[in-house]
Amino acid sequence: MNQSQELVVTTSPDELRMAVRQARSEGQRIGCVPTMGALHEGHISLIRQAVDTCDFVVVWIFVNPTQFGEGEDLQTYPRPIEEDLKKCGAAGVRMVFMPPPEVIYPDGYSTWVEVAGLSEILEGASRPGHFRGVATIVLKLLNLIQPDVAFFGAKDYQQQTLIRRMVRDLNLPVEIAICPTVREEDGLAMSSRNAYLNPAERAAAIRLFEALQLADSRFREGAEDVAAVQEEMLGHLRGSDLIEPDYAVIADPDSLEQLTSPQPRMVALIAARVGSTRLIDNQLIELSPR
């Protein structure tokens, strides 16, 4: 859709609401793309999808402190703001909302959102409190912008599953659009944290994608032993001294419960530390009836 108007950048919730209200009064379809900045081609693919299907697109850039745990990279997380704004303008975004932390979490802030079950497994087990921060900030974003559609990437599989569950459970009037993972030519999933990898680590990181491909191949060949496939994934990751796996599991794509036997639809999920950088990836596995 036409996005030819000039980009507006604001830190004010009131200015954001006023702009969205005006656009909606003109019958425009509102889209939003939540990000923490450091925009790469994966983010841009979400933005393009939003611009193509909505009239007024808001990109949220906010490095959310409540989803970072102790010892994680909150302070060093990349923040190339000027470059991000240029990319948003070039893509046809109408407004970028960049609130300071004190606007989102004022003194005395004490209200949190938790999605039971999904928050506590896999990434939630490895990063306690992470998904409480994610669910809270996404609900705040949806309340502030009240978009018709919010766009998320498939790479953060557990995150988008949790967000869809929250939206369903709380009857939020928003469509959650999930866009495909964008990968480098060798298959590595694009991530802002890839910038932390040195050349040797970057070369090793491809093993995450290879392990996912390995799982897909094994099940298509007729493998019935899920535990054995998971061990093979872990073994492939451990084939590099630079990689320390956290988990490599086969799960139900909706509940994320780990499977003990194959089913027609599954998701392979991986988290590993490559050097000092923690990366995640996933792949849906859909088997044809035998």
Side-chain half-sphere CA neighbours of 185 within 13 A: 0
Q: Which of 40, 43, 130, 236 is catalytic?
A: 43
Q: How far apart are CA 228 and CA 81, in angstroms?
A: 45
Q: Does the annotation count 43 as an active-site position?
A: yes
Please classify residue 276 by burial: count the beta carbons closer than 10 Å to its beta carbon, then call 0-12 exposed, 13-18 middle and 19+ buried: exposed
Q: Which residues are catalytic?
A: 43
